[in-house]
Amino acid sequence: AQSVTQLGSHVSVSEGALVLLRCNYSSSVPPYLFWYVQYPNQGLQLLLKYTTGATLVKGINGFEAEFKKSETSFHLTKPSAHMSDAAEYFCAVSDSGAGGTSYGKLTFGQGTILTVHP
C-alpha cells in the first residue's frame, strides 16, 4: 500500500520569498513521485515528476523537488514566489511497477493551499 502525507494544509508566503511545500510518502516498492497544481475549478496540471535517475528534478514555472529516499520525502521548492503561484498543490505517488502489478494509479496527499501576499 502507498500513502502520501503533506505537512501543512495552508502555507502563506510573501511575493519573492522562498516556497517550500512538504511531502512524505510511504511505499513498499520503488515509487514514482509527482507534484500537481490545481487552480480553482480546474483539473490538475503536472508540475514535475521523479521516476528514476537524478534525484533533483526541475519542473515548470521555476519549481523543483528533491527525492530523498532515506527521508522518504519529496519536498517542492521555488526560490521566489509569484502571485500567480497561488493555488492548491498535490503530491502523489504511484507504483513504479517493479516486481508487482501496477496500473499507474495515483495516491494523492490531502493538498496544500499556497497563498502569496504582495
Nearer to other proteins among residue 18 and residue 29 (C-beta)? 29
**Site mask, other proteins, residues 45-84, x = CB under 8 A?**
xx--x-x---------------------------------
Question: Nearer Cβ to other proteins, position 4 or 76?
Answer: 4
DSSP string, 28-84: SS-EEEEEEEE-TTS-EEEEEEE-SS-SEEE-GGG-EEEEETTTTEEEEEESS--GG
- The answer to whether 94 contacts other proteins (rule: CB under 8 A) is yes
